[in-house]
């Protein structure tokens, strides 16, 4: 995986640019342009007639399983900008209310079979958002937020008229996995910053946050010594004590050094909960066998003669490398300490992660394959996959790992290079394919070769 930076794309609704009349009058016109919605729903149609106006007397009426939870989230999102109480209630709605309903039998037309289907009906008499599930309803509320004036995202009160156009919306996602990868290994983001990313991702209806937790430059997740196997003398707390304090250093693509830090296991649990409330699944990545210099810098037992850094008396562990170089580090594929380490780390990660998937990396192991051949790399990955599968988890890995022993339901994340092995894994092994070609989906890449800023 190429070096990445954390980048967030936030979509906001738009309104008419006319200035001849007061804003409330402009927004109440039935022929006014509809706000831009991102991602674009399957169907959006103007109903005609006056728009709905959210007022201080408006309530959020929740109906169906978990609708109250979604209502609480919507109210919390809208209260700062509107200054309205927006109580979440049950019972009979009034014409001033927003009604949120979970009802899988509500009828969703051509997207009837999607568990994430939702529909919105807005008139002067009220707004109704109906989802086939909690997830569908939540997605519907994110569209509703975009139908409101863009000021709805303000952290402080805005004195305006809060209108929703008279529209009908029917929507469901084309893909169940809609992912955002966040590289916190090279430069750390604290819990509050990651929650801001989750909020932005939820607004765009992203369903998966892929957290890249370890790389050459840093290690970001606490691993304790609890549950060590008999004979395992590795001090796993050194991972964050040593490599939680390192990060990428200044380079031509950035103006300052990266940020250091790490997540305690409680921090990570809180992020998993926060994301789940917003219908986002967190999938953690510990990249192996390459991109492992941070582990080698913290754990002496990994610095065997067969690793990228054989220990010496003067240098028992690998030195920190804050460059953006890739492909130079690797674990020893012939050392039992390597697999003891992998099993302990992934065992704790599996216990912390509700997702059925753990991401094992597998990319850019250039120096390892030069030394041990392609067969050595494949043998390593197959043993690592056996460990993760034994923990009851499916794996995801970058497309280089697709030649290994994947099982049905494992994921192949294509990012660069040949597609041959990824295709075979899907067609013959029953693997699932994630498409994230680096030159198109990495937010730090140049849009065009002549673009002055960005990686290429």
pLDDT digits (tens, 9 = 90+) for 411-432: 999 999 999 999 999 999 999 9
Residues 166 and 234 in one domain: no
Torsion of CA 164, 170, 173, 179, to 10 degrees: 0
What confidence tens digit (pLDDT) does each residue in 48-87 have?
A: 899 999 999 999 999 999 999 999 999 999 999 999 999 9
Residues 156 and 288 in one domain: no
Residue 87 lies in a domain: yes
Residue 226 lies in a domain: yes
Check whether 26 has a pLDDT greater than 60.
no
Alpha-carbon distance values, 167 to 49, 130, 213, 383 (Å): 10, 14, 43, 55
Which CATH number covers residue 429?
3.20.20.80
Residues 311 and 291 in one domain: yes
Residue 366: give the domain boundaries.
Answer: 179-441
Domain count, the chain: 2
Residues 142 and 189 in one domain: no
Of 364, 375, 386, 420, which residue is the catalytic one?
Answer: 364
Catalytic annotation present for 25: no
Least confident of 27-36, 161-170, 341-350: 27-36
- Cα Rg of the chain (Å, integer): 25
Residue 212 lies in a domain: yes
Residue 26 lies in a domain: no
Check whether 176 has a pLDDT greater than 90.
yes
And the tokens for 339? 């697999």
CA atoms in the 13 A half-sphere facing the CB of 242: 19
* Domain edge (last residue) among 152, 171, 190: 171
Structure-model confidence comparison of residues 112 and 453, the more confident one: 112
Angstrom distance (rounded) from CA 414 to CA 148: 37
State mean pLDDT over 383-407: 96
Residues 188 and 223 in one domain: yes
pTM for the model stands at: 0.91
């Amino acid at each position: 995986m190429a070096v990445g930076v954390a980048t967030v794309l936030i979509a906001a609704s738009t309104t008419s640019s006319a200035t001849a009349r007061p804003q409330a009058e402009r927004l109440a016109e039935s022929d006014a342009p509809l706000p831009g919605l991102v991602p674009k729903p399957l169907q959006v149609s103007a109903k005609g007639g006056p728009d709905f106006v959210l007022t201080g007397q408006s309530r959020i009426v929740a109906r169906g399983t978990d609708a109250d939870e979604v209502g609480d989230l919507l109210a919390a999102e809208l209260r700062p900008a509107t200054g309205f109480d927006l109580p979440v209630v049950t019972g009979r709605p009034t014409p001033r209310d927003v009604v949120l309903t979970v009802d899988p039998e509500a009828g969703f037309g051509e997207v009837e079979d999607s568990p994430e289907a939702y529909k919105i009906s807005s008139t002067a008499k009220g707004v109704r958002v109906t989802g086939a599930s909690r997830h569908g309803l939540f997605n519907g509320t994110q569209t509703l937020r975009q139908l409101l004036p863009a000021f709805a995202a303000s952290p402080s009160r805005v004195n305006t008229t809060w209108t929703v156009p008279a529209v009908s919306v029917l929507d469901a996602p084309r893909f169940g996995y809609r992912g955002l990868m966040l590289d916190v290994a090279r430069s750390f983001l604290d819990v509050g910053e990651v929650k801001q990313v989750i909020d932005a991702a939820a607004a765009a209806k992203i369903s998966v946050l892929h957290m890249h937790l370890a790389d050459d430059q840093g290690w970001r997740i606490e691993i304790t010594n609890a549950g060590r196997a008999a004979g395992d003398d590795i001090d796993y707390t050194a991972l964050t004590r040593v490599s939680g304090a390192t990060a990428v250093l200044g380079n031509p693509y950035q103006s300052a050094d990266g940020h250091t830090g790490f997540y305690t296991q409680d921090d990570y649990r809180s992020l998993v909960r926060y994301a789940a409330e917003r219908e986002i699944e967190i999938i953690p990545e510990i990249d192996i066998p390459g991109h492992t210099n941070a582990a080698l810098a913290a754990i002496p037992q990994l610095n065997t003669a067969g690793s990228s850094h054989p220990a010496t008396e003067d240098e028992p562990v690998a030195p920190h490398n804050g460059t953006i170089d890739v492909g130079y580090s690797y674990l020893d594929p012939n050392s039992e300490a390597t697999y003891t380490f992998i099993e302990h780390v992934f065992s704790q990660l599996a216990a912390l992660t509700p997702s059925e998937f753990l991401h094992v990396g597998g990319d850019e192991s250039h120096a390892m394959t030069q030394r041990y051949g392609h067969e050595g790399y494949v043998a390593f990955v197959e043993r690592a996959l056996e460990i993760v599968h034994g923990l009851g988890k499916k794996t995801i890995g970058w497309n280089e790992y697709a030649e290994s022993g994947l099982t049905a339901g494992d994921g192949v994340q294509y990012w660069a290079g040949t597609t041959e092995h990824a295709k075979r894994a899907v067609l013959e092994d029953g693997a699932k394919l994630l498409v994230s070609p680096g030159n198109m989906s990495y937010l730090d890449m140049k849009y065009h070769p002549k673009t002055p800023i960005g990686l290429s």
